[in-house]
Structure 1
Amino acid sequence: MAIYKIGVLEGDGIGGEIVPATTSILEAAAKQLGGITFEWGDFPIGWKAIEQHNDPIPNVTKEGLKDCHGWIMGPHDSAAYPESHKTVRNPSGELRHLFDLYANIRPAKTTPGTKSGVDHTDLVIFRENTEGFYADRNMYSGTGEWQITPEVVVSTGVFTKKAIERIAHAAFKMAMKRRKKVTVVHKANVIKLGSGLFLNTCHEVAEQYPEVVVDDYHIDAMAAHLVRRADAFDVIVTENMYGDILSDLAGELVGSLGLAPSINTNDHLVMAQAAHGSAPDIAGKNISNPIGIIQSATMMLNWLGERHNDRSLFDGARMIELALAEALQEGVCTLDLGGSETTSSFTEAIVNKIEKVVIP
């Protein structure tokens, strides 16, 4: 019996509803399989951590996560934190920085049973997660912004060959398992040195994957291409800010940002984190849609299955995916997707389907 320690960080807003929904669904899959056990570790972040430790991401959480195989991170509402906590990295940014989770992997796939703005789309965005134009995490110490005068601010973008190479390799390795096509997104026509280094380095890495077809687009053109022909793309690799923007756009195009999953990884750790926010306006009403974080957790299981060569983890992920697909095709969904289920009743429906799923 393989045991995997998974950290649980509920976060703020709807996190207290959708994260427990996700762990109960993973428990149901583990019970059905019988070959794996999840050992859960609860760690505070966000408002709960501020109340308990005067810190939205306290050391007890950072240290506890070091002993986990991976963790599920709920959304945070850092924009509402006290001013004293707004001068430091938000919880997700801090964990990405602290654990060097350099790859933010965000798929966007048309899902039967949901309304979509594009058809037959199945793409994955690889977002470099540690530098680029995100000034709160692109420095070893401090932040890459300076206010020269009350009317003048300088914000830096950082690009290093090492960081670009590793996200490019991650993207090309994924492409080799899919349709063998990579699109590099950049702005090298204007940001000639920084974005130029990103583009050129990706093309250098591409030489090691001769089976993969490579093209590239400027970020502004890429946004238009996604809207017009999202189904033409397979794996997209880009820097931090562009990846954040494009993945939100792609998520909405295929149905809803509420469905959009992601994982943050390095070579030995994985953090499951839905792309959406904490939705404080509906928190506590039992109407939030947990699919984004559930699908993020299935991505985590697949990642752990590959790292630990454990077929049971792949089967668990597949079991959950099949249960979700069946529910959505039957119209079993939450209010935001046109259904009538609450968060808890939707979760119960998925658990019931997992108990009946047969892995092909």
Structure 2
Amino acid sequence: MKLVILPGDGIGPEITAATVAVLEAASDRFGLGLALDHDLAGHASLARHGTTVRPALLEKVREADGLVLGPMATFEYPEAAQGGINPSMFFRKQLDLYANIRPARTYPGVAHPAVAPFDLVVVRENTEGFYADRNMESGGSEMLVTPDVCVSLRRITRGCCARIARAAFRLAATRRGRVHAVHKANVLKIGDGMFLEECRRAAADFPTVTLDEYIVDAMAAHLVRAPQKFDVIVTTNMFGDILSDLTAELSGSIGLGGSINSGARHAMAQAAHGSAPDIAGQDRANPFSLILSAAQLLDWHAARLGSGAFAQAARAIEQAVEAAVTGGQATADVGGRLGTAATGQAVAALVGGRRDAG
């Protein structure tokens, strides 16, 4: 398996280095033969190449089996015309990474605001919706009509609704067999109505999976009140973006949630959080989100190949993260005593079958 590694900005290089240590340990233990191709995107690329993402990088990623993307400080980038391309948006759009899979769960020993332990996944449509930078062939879908009037357009297509619905049902069939479709069809009758139609159509093909439907504002309240009731939540782009951050924080920290962006032929592991420039270079950043995202990437590759080794490696990383968190071999934000690098080494040692880390 060939992976392109793009460390990104802020804390990105630190958490990416920790993730690479874990991937190398998994490769050694399970015989994965990982080939890691390190390159640049973001500020480092802008300084060297005059653009945050150069065209040759896209071709390199297309030829690889997966991409690990560190956090990007997009708020600091110049306009796209001056080379300030959002790498996350760019790869999601160019590679048609239509499914953003965001697990959220509580861990023993980590304080969390949820009323009970929970384990759920948000399946978010990733290529259209209210995102003005990715739902038009050219130009943006947010327009300033007058100095005081803005119009924002949302694109919803039946094909995109159908494929994200089916992705959610396939996932739920491997878990607890429940899909919760989140919408606002009481107001957005056509677009969200289409989304619900496709969820119901998918449900007919998965008779062992139960479908529930929730209006998005009610779902937010239910998640705060009883997140343990939910299994796989599927929704449109903007709603999924919001609910996945909510569920991550309910687990105790957004740094404990993985995130993969996947399509039919490509996938990108990406931390659920930002570049945190205020703690960059201080060896304080929590690397677990990117590590867990890398595990999801291995699992995605396992499903494509039917490979038990890659699936075992993914489970080993997830179990190692749980053991590290529970044992205090983690950063301070989740109750541990280690820095970023030592946390990565601790997880790598656990993945490799050793318990001498920390």
Query: Is TM-score (shorter-chain normalized) higher than 0.5?
Result: yes
Equivalent position of 1:244 in the other structure: 241
1:235 correspondence with 2:236: no
User: Which is further off, 291-300 or 316-325?
Assistant: 316-325
Q: Please state how far the C-alpha of 1:304 moved relative to its aligned partner.
A: 0.6
SS in 1 for 2:316: helix
Distance in 1 separating the partners of 2:83 and 2:133: 9
Equivalent position of 1:306 in the other structure: 303
User: Which is further off, 179-188 or 36-45?
Assistant: 36-45
Which AA in structure 2 matches 1:110? T
Alignment of 1:167-246 (within 5 A): 167-246=164-243
Residues 321-360 of structure 1: CA deviation (Å, up to 9, x unaligned): 22222222112210211222111111222222223269xx
User: Which is further off, 81-90 or 225-234?
Assistant: 81-90
Give the TM-score taking structure 1 as reference length.
0.95
Equivalent position of 2:252 in the other structure: 255
Residues 284-343 of structure 1: CA deviation (Å, up to 9, x unaligned): 111110000000001111111111111111121122222222222112210211222111
- 1:57 is aligned, of 45, 53, 59, to 53
SS in 1 for 2:132: coil
Residues 165-210 of structure 1: CA deviation (Å, up to 9, x unaligned): 0000100111111111111101011111111211222112211222
Distance in 2 separating the partners of 1:43 and 1:142: 29
Equivalent position of 1:140 in the other structure: 137
Equivalent position of 2:36 in the other structure: 40
CA contact (8 A) 2:269 2:296 kept: yes
Which AA in structure 1 matches 2:86? N
- 1:335 is aligned, of 307, 332, 337, to 332
Alignment of 1:28-107 (within 5 A): 28-33=25-30, 35-83=31-79, 90-107=86-103
Distance in 2 separating the partners of 1:295 and 1:146: 38
Distance in 1 separating the partners of 2:130 and 2:262: 19
User: Which is further off, 303-312 or 69-78?
Assistant: 303-312
Which AA in structure 2 matches 1:90? N
Runs of 4+ aligned structure 1 residues displaced above 6 Å come to none
Distance in 2 separating the partners of 1:89 and 1:138: 16
Query: Which runs of no fewer than 5 residues in structure 2 stay unpaired?
Result: none
CA contact (8 A) 1:78 1:86 kept: no
CA contact (8 A) 1:18 1:293 kept: yes
Distance in 1 separating the partners of 2:199 and 2:132: 22
Q: Please state how far the C-alpha of 1:158 moved relative to its aligned partner.
A: 0.6
Distance in 1 separating the partners of 2:209 and 2:352: 40
Q: Please state how far the C-alpha of 1:87 moved relative to its aligned partner.
A: 9.4
- 2:280 is aligned, of 268, 279, 283, to 283
- Compared CA separation, residues 89 and 224, structure 1 to 2 (3 A): farther
Distance in 2 separating the partners of 1:198 and 1:306: 26
Residues 226-283 of structure 1: CA deviation (Å, up to 9, x unaligned): 0001010111110000000000000000110011111000112111011100000000
- 1:325 is aligned, of 322, 336, 341, to 322
Give the TM-score taking structure 2 as reference length.
0.95
Q: Please state how far the C-alpha of 1:88 moved relative to its aligned partner.
A: 6.8
Query: Which runs of no fewer than 5 residues in structure 1 stay unpaired?
Result: none
Equivalent position of 1:116 in the other structure: 112
SS in 2 for 1:108: strand
Equivalent position of 2:14 in the other structure: 17
Equivalent position of 1:345 in the other structure: 342
Aligned residues: 354
CA contact (8 A) 1:304 1:313 kept: yes
Q: Please state how far the C-alpha of 1:89 moved relative to its aligned partner.
A: 5.3
Q: What's the RMSD between the two structures over aligned residues?
A: 1.6
Distance in 1 separating the partners of 2:55 and 2:38: 14
